[in-house]
Amino acid sequence: MVSISGPTFVLWLHIVAACIWIGGQVTIAAVIPMLRDQRELARRVGRRYQTVAWPAFAVLIVTGLLNVADAGLRWSQLFDSPTGRTLVVKLAFVALSGLAAGVHALLHAAPRRDAGGSAVGSAVLGSISLVAALLAALYGVAIARAEQREADRQTNWPVLFVIS
Ligand code: HEM
């Protein structure tokens, strides 16, 4: 059986946290419109969601930093390799996702004046955060695949056959 190393465990945590961050946003987007007539309940659901989502985002950042170290990427040479540049784009999407979700949360924490306007604003910010997180995940997969290809190329074992 393949062993489960520290970096594998960290990557697993990273993926689980990404599932919670992205899956939570999808769930909230599906549920909140059903609670339009129950504003207090909608607010409580939103608040409960925040208590799960932000710890997941923190886990993404901590495990992401560990992934970077494990991938052998150096922060000082980030623009020098295709993988490094892919990480830069990924981090821009991570920042956008966190920023949009943060502004979204702050808007909901503030006292309401215009309910209609705030619903549209929330939908726009929520969508930006979700799409940015999906793109961050896509770039993460691209980095992992590029590394795997590189590792495969460097292996000492002869290639027995290729399935294409
Ligand atoms: C919204 C936040 C984030 C999401 C949704 C996300 C999602 C993902 C996903 C799905 C993967 C693919 C894992 C695989 O295919 O094995 C991945 C890989 C990766 N992520 Fe993230 N991530 C986020 C934040 C971060 C942050 C903040 C960093 C760096 C500080 C980071 C660094 C990495 C690295 C280096 C990999 C490649 C890991 C490897 O080589 O196996 N991620 N990410």
Q: Residue 151 Cα, ligand 1 centroid: separation in angstroms?
A: 18
- Count of H-run helices and E-run strands, the chain: 4, 0
Residue 14 · residue 63 · CB < 8 Å: yes
Average pLDDT score over the chain: 89
The answer, yes or no, to whether residue 147 has pLDDT greater than 90, is: no
Distance 16 CA to ligand 1 centre (A): 11
pLDDT of residue 117: 56
Query: Sign of the CA dihedral 134, 126, 62, 86?
Result: positive
Highest mean pLDDT among 1-10, 55-64, 138-147: 55-64
Q: In this structure, which residue's CA is closest to atom 25 in ligand 1?
A: 64
Q: Is the confidence at residue 158, as pLDDT, over 80?
A: no
Tokens of 2: 């393949």
Using a 6 Å CB cutoff, which residues line ligand 1?
A: 11, 14-15, 18, 21-22, 60-61, 64-65, 67-68, 71, 87, 94, 97, 133, 136-137, 140-141, 143-144, 147
CA of 152 to the centre of ligand 1 (A): 20
Is pTM, for the whole model, over 0.85? yes
How far apart are the C-alpha atoms of 12 and 27, rounded to whole Å? 22
Give the model confidence (pLDDT) of 82-130 as tens digits: 999 999 999 999 999 999 999 999 887 776 655 555 778 888 999 999 9
